[in-house]
C-alpha cells in the first residue's frame, strides 16, 4: 500500500516543519512496516513556483499494510507532532497501476493491471525527476507552461509540486477524476506534449520516474476541500 500525505502548517510552526526535513528521518527509518519513504517540501504557486512554500510538506510512504500505516499514526513521534501542529493534513491511499523509471536507483512500486479498475475510479499520478544542472535554466523556463496546462483541466481534482531538494529534485502529485481525464491530458494537450518533447530532446533529467495509481481512499481535507465529495471514497 502506498500513501501520500500533505501537511500545511501555520506560521508559528514553520521552523519546526523545516527542521523535520533533517530530524524526522531517524523516526521514519525505524517505523515498522514502512518499506520506502520520501519526506518532501513544496514550492509556491501551488507547488510549482521557484521559491519554496515553507508551510506545505509531503510524505510518501510504501507500507506492508494499512495496519502498519495506522500504527505509525498512533506511535510515531513525527506523525504525532505533525498532526498536532498542522492546520491541514490529507492522506491519499493508493495502489500502483503502472510504473517505470527509478527513484534514487530503485523503484519501490509493485503495480497491478490497469484493467482491474473501474472506468469511473479516481486515478493519481506521481512524477519525479532529477534535473541535470546544466539543463536547469532551460527546465525552469518551461515549468510555467506545464503548471498552466494542468490548471486548465476541469477533471483535475488536485495537483501539487513537491520535492526533496528545491529545483534539482522535482516531483508532482496529481489526482484525476478518472482514467479518461488522464488520457485526455497526456495525449491531447498541446502544452503537455511540448514539454514532453523538450524533456526527451534536451535530455533534462539524469533520473526520472512515472507512476500511475488507483485511488483507494482518502482521509482529511486540502485547501478546505474534502475530495470524497468528488467521488474519492
Which H/E stretch holds residue 171? strand 169-176
Residue 203 is classified by DSSP as T
Q: Which residues contact 47 (CB under 8 A, 6 or more apart)?
A: 53, 56, 159, 160, 161, 162, 172
Position 92 scores a pLDDT of 97
> In this structure, what are the phi and psi dihedrals at residue 87, rounded to the nearest 5 degrees?
-90, -25
**Contact by Cβ (8 Å): 127, 210:** yes
User: Of 2.40.50.430, 3.30.70.120, 3.30.70.100, 3.30.70.920, which CATH number belongs to 2-221?
Assistant: 3.30.70.100
Residue ranges of the domains in the chain? 2-221
Q: How far apart are CA 95 and CA 126, in angstroms?
A: 12
pLDDT value of position 133: 76
Are 232 and 217 in contact, with CB atoms under 8 Å apart? Answer: yes
Alpha carbon distance 24, 40 (integer Å) = 11
pLDDT (0 to 100) of residue 211: 95
Residue 143 has what pLDDT? Answer: 66
DSSP string, 29-75: HT-TTEEEEEEEEEETTTBTSSSEEEEEEEEEEEES-HHHHHHHHHH
Which residue stretches of the chain have pLDDT < 70?
45-50, 113-116, 140-149, 151, 166-167, 187-196, 198-202, 228-233
Which single residue is written with the C-alpha cell 500525505?
5
What's the pLDDT at 142?
Answer: 63
Q: Are 171 and 162 in contact (CB under 8 A)?
A: yes
pLDDT at 195: 65
Of 58, 5, 2, the residue nearest 211 (C-alpha): 2
Confidence (pTM): 0.88
pLDDT tens per residue, range 14-46:
999 999 999 999 989 999 999 999 999 998 766
Amino acid at each position: 500500500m502506498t500513501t501520500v500525505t500533505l501537511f500545511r502548517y501555520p506560521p508559528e510552526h514553520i521552523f519546526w516543519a523545516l527542521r523535520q526535513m533533517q530530524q524526522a528521518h531517524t523516526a521514519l527509518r525505524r517505523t515498522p512496516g514502512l518499506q520506502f519513504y520520501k519526506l518532501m517540501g513544496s514550492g509556491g504557486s501551488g507547488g510549482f513556483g521557484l521559491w519554496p512554500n515553507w508551510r506545505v510538506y509531503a510524505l510518501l510512504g510504501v507500507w506492508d499494510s494499512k495496519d502498519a500505516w495506522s500504527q505509525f499514526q498512533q506511535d510515531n513521534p513525527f506523525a504525532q507532532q505533525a498532526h498536532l501542529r498542522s492546520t491541514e493534513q490529507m492522506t491519499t491511499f493508493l495502489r500502483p497501476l503502472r510504473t517505470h523509471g527509478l527513484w534514487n536507483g530503485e523503484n519501490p512500486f509493485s503495480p497491478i493491471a490497469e484493467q482491474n479498475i473501474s472506468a469511473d475510479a479516481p486515478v493519481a499520478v506521481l512524477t519525479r525527476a532529477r534535473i541535470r544542472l546544466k539543463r536547469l535554466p532551460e527546465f525552469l523556463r518551461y515549468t510555467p507552461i506545464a503548471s498552466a496546462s494542468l490548471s486548465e483541466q476541469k477533471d483535475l481534482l488536485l495537483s501539487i509540486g513537491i520535492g526533496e531538494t528545491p529545483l534539482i529534485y522535482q516531483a508532482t502529485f496529481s489526482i484525476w477524476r478518472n482514467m479518461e481525464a488522464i488520457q485526455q491530458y497526456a495525449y491531447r494537450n498541446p502544452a503537455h506534449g511540448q514539454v514532453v518533447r523538450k524533456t526527451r530532446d534536451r535530455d533534462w533529467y539524469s533520473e526520472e520516474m512515472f507512476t500511475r495509481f488507483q485511488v483507494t481512499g482518502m482521509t482529511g481535507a486540502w485547501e478546505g476541500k474534502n475530495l470524497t465529495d468528488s467521488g474519492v471514497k
